[in-house]
Amino acid sequence: MQTLYDKLWQGHIVHEESDKPDEMALVYIDRHLVHEVTSPQAFEGLRIAGRKPWRLDSILAVADHNVPTTERSHGITDPISRLQVDTLDQNCEDLGITEFKMTDLRQGIVHVVGPEQGATLPGMTVVCGDSHTSTHGAFACLAFGIGTSEVEHVLATQCLLLKKAKSMQILVEGNLGPGVTAKDIALAIIGKIGTAGGNGYVIEFAGNAIRELSMEARMTICNMAIEGGSRAGMIAVDETTIDYIKGRPFAPRGDLWERATTYWRTLKSDEGAAFDRVVTLDAAQIKPQVTWGTSPEMVTTIDGRVPDPAQVTDTVKRHDMENALKYMGLTPNLPISEIYLDKIFIGSCTNSRIEDLRAAAVVVRGRHIAANIKLAMVVPGSGLVKRQAEEEGLDKVFRDAGFEWREPGCSMCLAMNDDRLSAGERCASTSNRNFEGRQGPGGRTHLVSPAMAAAAAVAGHFVDVREIY
């Protein structure tokens, strides 16, 4: 009896020292996604060593981190950002790598683009020089982020040296309440296991609450696996997976489609397969989540309060909490619903897909952002998501409500382009990291779902989105 992870692992071993099962194995990589920030040094290394990419058709490149989200026809103004994007363009052109350039309709955040194009297919090993590669695990892939040396290693050999991780099953059973979304499940899980809880593990998310989620929502959950410390998260294949892939540009067709789907349907853990650790959550108990600190595990529910470090006995933990509260400018015991905001960011590879934009639009439709909100922005995950949203009239809903409607990219998720918080500014963000300075030096980030971010935009402070519906 095998877990899904066992199956994916075993199916990709090129070489292992058979007498030493604990040693590293050489694992084959099917899909290599590339973006501008973590690749230039890898391409340079390849060039210096006189090597060529092993398999060009496994690589898909797109610039996302540095690209501006405003009018693009004049290019990128920041010369350093421009150099990085130009370097990617040049490397792809020189080597013959498929790239969606900045002005291509298909351009967007690499983790939105891969699945949208059908470039992420079940059973694949997927890597990218980016920790949120875990997103692609929603398609029953073994997908994980790698460093630049490993990017070079995959380019040169199509393989990676890896050690098998332990396995964790996270079972979410029961029915989610209205207004509670995949983002809330993800934050609730991290609140439970901690940001280091998944270190050394690969997580499989299962249970009926997970099976009932759309692919977009499953991607949100797997995306956040890394915030729980796990390099890879995954979900078994079912009809939802297969329906999503059908007809996408990189997906197989005709006879190959039949063959592929027959195989894909085997990509699930066998009944009774053993995991090293099992964690269970009751979906019905999950409420909308809001982070109050500088780590995704510093999270509570919308009806909760900012915790009081004085109540914590562990000195390291208390110290961390005090630091976090100081940075966040919050006082202990303040009700979450009394936290007022300056900016709202709806976007990032966690929550910038069409379903996320729809969920936010439902809340803001016919309403307007509060007077204290200096900026509310929606940044679609890709050009295609943007077009779809415009066809549905969502851009108008957001604009009428006072939101800015932007071009696709990572944007204020990490503030490498011009979109950022100023020191002291407080933001409700649908992204995945609330680290110090993540959205701009001195900026204060609260992670929430798209619906909760939209509700906060309208109210000016956090509110329970379930009361707005």
Positions in the binding site for ligand SF4 (CB under 6 A): 64-65, 109, 111, 130, 132, 348-349, 410, 413-414, 431-432
Piece in contact with other proteins (CB under 8 A), picked from 149-157, 204-212, 364-372, 373-381:
149-157
Q: What is the DSSP letter of 283?
A: G
Q: Which of 102, 364, 397, 414 forms a contact with other proteins (CB under 8 A)?
A: 414
Residue 393 found at the interface with other proteins (CB under 8 A): no
Q: Letter for the amino acid at 356?
A: D
Q: Which is nearer to ligand SF4, 227 or 464 (CB)?
A: 227
Smallest separation (angstroms) from other proteins to the CB of 168: 13
Q: Which of 199, 214, 266, 337 forms a contact with other proteins (CB under 8 A)?
A: 199
Residue 15 found at the interface with other proteins (CB under 8 A): yes
Residue 105 found at the interface with other proteins (CB under 8 A): no
Non-local (6+) Cβ contacts of 30 within 8 A are 12, 58, 121, 124, 125, 126
- The encoded tokens of residue 351 equal 């929550």
Q: Which of 52, 103, 105, 435 forms a contact with other proteins (CB under 8 A)?
A: 435
Q: Which of 3, 34, 35, 81 forms a contact with other proteins (CB under 8 A)?
A: 81
Q: Determine the number of helices (DSSP H) and then strands (DSSP E) in the chain.
A: 16, 19
Q: What is the DSSP letter of 270?
A: P
Residue 418 found at the interface with other proteins (CB under 8 A): no
Nearest CA-CA partner of 54 in 160, 145, 161, 148: 160
Residue 388 found at the interface with other proteins (CB under 8 A): no
- The encoded tokens of residue 187 equal 């934050």
Residue 326 found at the interface with other proteins (CB under 8 A): no
Q: Which of 53, 68, 114, 129 forms a contact with other proteins (CB under 8 A)?
A: 129
Non-local (6+) Cβ contacts of 323 within 8 A are 294
Residue ranges in 265-353 assigned as alpha helix (H):
315-328
Smallest separation (angstroms) from other proteins to the CB of 116: 18
CB 128 within 8 A of CB 32: yes
Smallest separation (angstroms) from other proteins to the CB of 323: 7
Binding partner of residue 469 among ligand SF4, other proteins, none, CB cut-off 5 to 8 Å per kind: none
Q: Which is nearer to ligand SF4, 12 or 111 (CB)?
A: 111
> Which residues between 263 and 282 bind other proteins (CB under 8 A)?
263
Q: How far apart are CA 92 and CA 43, in angstroms?
A: 10
Size of the site for other proteins (CB under 8 A): 77
Q: Which of 21, 74, 80, 331 forms a contact with other proteins (CB under 8 A)?
A: 80
Q: How far apart are CA 381 and CA 358, in angstroms?
A: 13
Binding partner of residue 117 among other proteins, ligand SF4, none, CB cut-off 5 to 8 Å per kind: none
Residue 323 found at the interface with other proteins (CB under 8 A): yes
Residue 437 found at the interface with other proteins (CB under 8 A): yes
Each as own residue / partner, the long-range contacts of residues 419-424 (CB below 8 Å, 24 or more positions apart, any chain) are: 419/69, 419/345, 419/377, 419/379, 421/342, 421/343, 421/445, 424/329
> Which residues between 28 and 47 bind other proteins (CB under 8 A)?
28, 30, 37-38, 40-41, 44
Smallest separation (angstroms) from other proteins to the CB of 399: 29
Piece in contact with other proteins (CB under 8 A), picked from 159-167, 175-183, 233-241, 365-373:
159-167
411: left (phi over 0), alpha (psi -120 to 50) or beta: left
Nearest CA-CA partner of 356 in 195, 188, 221, 230: 221
Q: How far apart are CA 16 and CA 424, in angstroms?
A: 52
Residue 52 found at the interface with other proteins (CB under 8 A): no
Piece in contact with other proteins (CB under 8 A), picked from 180-188, 193-201, 208-216, 358-366:
193-201
Q: How far is CA 380 from CA 102, 107, 108, in A?
A: 14, 11, 8
Q: How far apart are CA 341 and CA 369, in angstroms?
A: 11
